[in-house]
Amino acid sequence: MQPGYIQAVEQNVLSRRIDKAGKWASNCCLCPRNCRVNRMEGELGFCRTGALAPVASYNLHFGEEDPLVGERGSGTVFFGHCNLGCVFCQNYDISDNQSRHQEVYPNQLGFIFMELQKKGAHNINLVTPSHVVLSILQGLKEAAGQGLNIPLVYNTSSYDEVHTLKLLDGIVDIYLADSKFFHPEPAKKYADAQDYPEKARMAIMEMHRQVGPLKTDEKGIARKGLMIRHLVMPDNLAGSKEWLEFFADNLSRDTFINIMGQYRPAGYAHMYPELTGRVSGDRVMELKQKARDLGLVNLDERESGFFKLIY
């Protein structure tokens, strides 16, 4: 089996990236929030995360896309808190519930990665990783020395800075990238992140530059590449057609795209009448046809709503 990238990364390269991430965390510019707090000294910015990573849970997970799950499951590590904070967060119980988080040191995170590999996970799936890139790199350094060799999945909202993603170049094998809001107005209203559309588009293009379209092994298990998720929103709040046009114009036409119809009102969605609706199956089918018409040929064709975002 072809190993993941991490075994090919020299320890001194990893150390230099860790140093850079630590410097950025000391005056935090790791994500587009650009809070400029010193997380190494315990100051907290938007993500409420200091120097250590909050881990909500880790386990083999069978609710992700087929190429990630295979027969043995995806080794998910759910990080607590988030740098985006959508009011309708579909993982609200995890992202916002501090009592479910445990802060872990780098050696503990490395241990978690190794545990998941020993359990047979096809990959290490880092869920909501953007604010904990420093901890991830530190944990990988620990685990790489212990033989971690399965692909790393960066499972992100795409509210990422390109300069931070470059720290992961040659380390992350698979990017699993959300495409949430295409337009600034809903991004501002529902996540207080007016720049999300611009930042996410640049981030997705950088991810595509690093790993290209999805490659799988002979059993259909993901080895490398970009996988896109698009959660269709009520009232077209996500700008679905515009996203599909963006993908067709800027990414390989064989980029894996999962158009998801399982939106449900969660978190604070009840405070926004327009977020309390659902998305019809017909709407999802219409968008899938739109994608095909645009020449996008690698759509996740499972029935919409088949899989859950979390366990």
Q: Which residues bind ligand SF4 (CB under 6 A)?
A: 28, 30-31, 33-35, 37, 39, 45-47, 49, 83, 131
Q: Write down the least CB distance from residue 72 to ligand SF4, Å.
A: 32
| Angstrom distance (rounded) from CA 240 to CA 244 | 6
Q: Write down the least CB distance from residue 97 to ligand SF4, Å.
A: 18
Residue closest to ligand SF4 when measured from CB atoms:
45
Strand-pairing partners, residue 153, are 125, 174
Helix (H, G, I), strand (E, B) or coil at 18: helix
Contact indicator for 53, 103 with CB cutoff of 8 Å? yes
Q: Where are the alpha helices (DSSP H) in 58-105?
A: 66-69, 92-95
Of 191 and 248, the one with the shorter C-beta distance to ligand SF4 is: 191
Q: Write down the least CB distance from residue 29 to ligand SF4, Å.
A: 6
Q: Write down the least CB distance from residue 204 to ligand SF4, Å.
A: 18
Strand-pairing partners, residue 224, are 215
Residue 7 is encoded by which pair of tokens? Answer: 């075994």
Q: Write down the least CB distance from residue 147 to ligand SF4, Å.
A: 30
Of 157 and 255, the one with the shorter C-beta distance to ligand SF4 is: 157
Q: Write down the least CB distance from residue 159 to ligand SF4, Å.
A: 8
Of 31 and 222, the one with the shorter C-beta distance to ligand SF4 is: 31
Distances (CA, A) of 92 to 82, 86, 121, 128, 185: 10, 9, 25, 12, 22
Taking the CB of residue 91, how many other CB atoms lie within 10 A of it? 18
Distances (CA, A) of 251 to 89, 260, 297: 27, 19, 12
Strand-pairing partners, residue 229, are 178, 258
Contact indicator for 229, 258 with CB cutoff of 8 Å? yes
Q: Write down the least CB distance from residue 95 to ligand SF4, Å.
A: 13
Of 131 and 230, the one with the shorter C-beta distance to ligand SF4 is: 131
Q: Write down the least CB distance from residue 243 to ligand SF4, Å.
A: 23
Of 134 and 148, the one with the shorter C-beta distance to ligand SF4 is: 134
Of 48 and 72, the one with the shorter C-beta distance to ligand SF4 is: 48
Burial class (CB in 10 A: 0-12, 13-18, 19+), 48: middle
Of 41 and 282, the one with the shorter C-beta distance to ligand SF4 is: 41
Of 36 and 264, the one with the shorter C-beta distance to ligand SF4 is: 36
Contact indicator for 291, 254 with CB cutoff of 8 Å? no
| Angstrom distance (rounded) from CA 43 to CA 127 | 23
